[in-house]
């Protein structure tokens, strides 16, 4: 029984700190007030729904933003014949369609890498031309 009381106090103190630090506001109190014996897990269920929703939205946002920009880069790189940059953009599309954020970010790293290699090579060849 003592353990239960201790745990409840810990939870109370922790929740109070979340309010103090601005993580939670009065709306959370409203949720707690809605919880009752007929629905004892109400708060946890609503918060879980929020996390699932937020993650889905953030993933969609990240992949759609990245997709639009990489599409542009794919087009412009092929217009000057920058083949390796262009090819590095291709796997990107699939990762975006799958909403695979990790895949998108790894692919983006590869695109950036190919771009900086190409930039160095082109600059070096320009300098050689000028000499």
Partner 1 sequence: MASPQNFASKLTALVVDDHKTYQKIHQKMLNNFGVKSHVVENGKEAVDIHCHGKKFDLILMDMDMPIMNGIEATKELRAMGVCSTIVGVTSRTTEAEILKFMEAGLDDYQEKPLTKPKLSSILGNINSNK
DSSP state of 35: -
Residue closer to partner 1 (CB basis): 38 or 79: 38
Residue 45 binds partner 1, judged by CB under 8 A: yes
Residue 60 makes contact with partner 1 by CB under 8 A: no
Q: Assess 41 for contact with partner 1 (CB under 8 A).
A: no
Q: What is the DSSP string of 41-70?
A: THHHHHHHHHHHHHHHHHHHHHHHHHHHHH
Residue number, 27 or 79, with CB nearest to partner 1: 27
Q: Which residue among 34, 61, 68, 90 contacts partner 1 (CB under 8 A)?
A: 34
**Token output for 66:** 């990245």
């Amino acid at each position: 029984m003592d353990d239960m009381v201790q745990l409840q106090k810990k939870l109370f103190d922790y929740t109070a700190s979340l309010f103090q630090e601005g993580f939670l506001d009065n709306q959370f109190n409203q949720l707690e007030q809605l919880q009752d014996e007929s629905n004892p897990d109400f708060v946890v269920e609503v918060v879980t729904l929020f996390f699932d929703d937020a993650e889905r939205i953030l993933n969609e946002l990240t992949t759609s933003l990245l997709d639009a920009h990489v599409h542009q880069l794919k087009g412009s790189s092929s217009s000057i014949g920058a083949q390796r940059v262009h090819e590095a953009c291709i796997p990107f599309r699939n990762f975006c369609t799958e909403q695979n954020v990790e895949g998108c970010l790894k692919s983006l790293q590869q695109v950036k890498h190919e771009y900086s290699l190409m930039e160095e090579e082109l600059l070096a060849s320009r300098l050689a031309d000028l000499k």
